[in-house]
Chain A
């Protein structure tokens, strides 16, 4: 019973982590139809930013979050504005290939500059857990889980209650109409990408406090983001939560009851099956080409 509960908690926390860095992926696809293969690199960049600030300047990871948000926002905005913007009108396959190229460039440049060493951010409080009658809940992961909720809620609020957010939604639903109503589509796209990047970077920063980080860590994260978002529905932000939770719990139980390594294989098999059987996601609210 304890194993069950622990696995469940682990799964939920893991799911929250997954959701936190997948929401941005969903947003970007939902608004501009871009499948961003270097999404994982933004997690990696956020993580490394925090790592270097911590290692070189002893800045507490949680204090690096604003800087991470801002830096990744700028990065995302610029890359979208000057590179990806050119292919937003083309079929999603094109952005898939383009962002794959960018993924290679970023990941391997990082590998070159920072070497392949594994690194972690270990603060004084890294090992702190809450212990609820035998079930261990690490604070760091709990923090990320809360972040996930904040991110999804924040994005939801931003998209529905602010003027810019509504402009983004309008653009997502009907680009031509939005353009006719005076929305600067190019700027909206760049903004959206920036926000998606920023949110993902912050998730990366937090992740550095309990996962091992290394320059090639990006692609697996990207693939998990795919999985989460396909499960939850592409372009449907709250779906990132559901998708993340489902995936997290499935992986957790697989690792606990079957085999740790198998959970990796299971992710892909699950993704594969969902793509074939229910491309619009569990709730059916996703965008299917």
Chain B
């Protein structure tokens, strides 16, 4: 009975959100919501691969970072307009995801987790060493890049909202498509899926590349907003961890799960980080421990309950 109200309520919420900046809400709130939108986007990206297939990716931030640097370079050194730059960032991330995904997605369980983590850390190190190795000179100081000052928070509010909607729509679309059936089958029983004709490697790589595209795109957006990035900022494993926890909390493999998880963690961060900078991270760790221990079958239990 409630189901028929969903589209209408979604529309109403969307309308409200779209109008909020114009209604004179505080800049702080606009900024907070924009951050939430972008986190929902990131967590949803992660969900497209890991939530749906059960292969937990610990290197997602690698693509975020690649996208960040791509946009930073394009905009600061080549004067490429923003919207074009982020699209290119997405594409670059996606293309890199192919040769990385093909070998790693064959690995099982924790080995996949380790390999992806190694990938993300390697990317960080490579960017850190890039100028010395390749003899290029575009980093300042600690390999940071500065971008020209951009528009106000409202701009990122709308861009963030737009991206969030696109990512969620993509997640929804994937879920209902042929690919979605393949991914869900892979999560439940990968070998049975193979035997039923599912090209499991191909399906996983597709999801991986889609996820990487949007992560790169979002990386580009946030770079423009931050206006200054360093490898440690954009290749930070904590970004991946937060994506993981947001999806875990909200419900892996669902479309709206990340919304809950992202909102909760972002607000938690806002509350804590000024006065208790490390408490947030400790709490994130604690949440992970609690979630894992309370689920009878660990993460798999959460996966099952959806």
Contacts and interface: CB of A to CB of B under 8 A. Distances in A.
Q: Do chains A and B touch in the complex (CB under 8 A)?
A: yes
Given A101-B288, A261-B125, A262-B129, A230 B299 contact: no
Contacts of B36: none
A93 B113 contact: yes
A275 B115 CA distance: 7
Contacts of A264: 125, 128-129
Interface stretch (B5-13, B68-76, B278-286): B278-286
B207 to A, nearest CB: 17
Chain A interface residue number, banded: 35 or more
Interface string A267-284: 111011001100100000
Contacts, number: 137
Interface residues of B, number: 42
B159 to A, nearest CB: 30
Nearest to B244: A97
A268 B118 contact: yes
A205 to B, nearest CB: 25
B292 A98 contact: yes
Interface string A252-272: 000000010110110111011
Interface string A99-140: 011111100110110000000000000000000000000000
Contacts of A219: 237
Given A90-B297, A97-B292, A101-B287, A276 B128 contact: no
Given A91-B109, A97-B299, A105-B289, A261 B118 contact: no
Contacts of B284: 101, 104
Interface string B109-128: 11101110111011001101
Contacts of B297: 90
B132 A259 contact: yes
A35 B114 contact: yes
Nearest to B284: A104
Ranked nearest first, the 3 interchain pairs of A and B with the lowest CB-CB distance are: A104-B285, A101-B288, A268-B122
Interface of A: 35, 83, 86-87, 90-98, 100-105, 108-109, 111-112, 219, 223, 226-227, 230, 259, 261-262, 264-265, 267-269, 271-272, 275-276, 279, 288-289
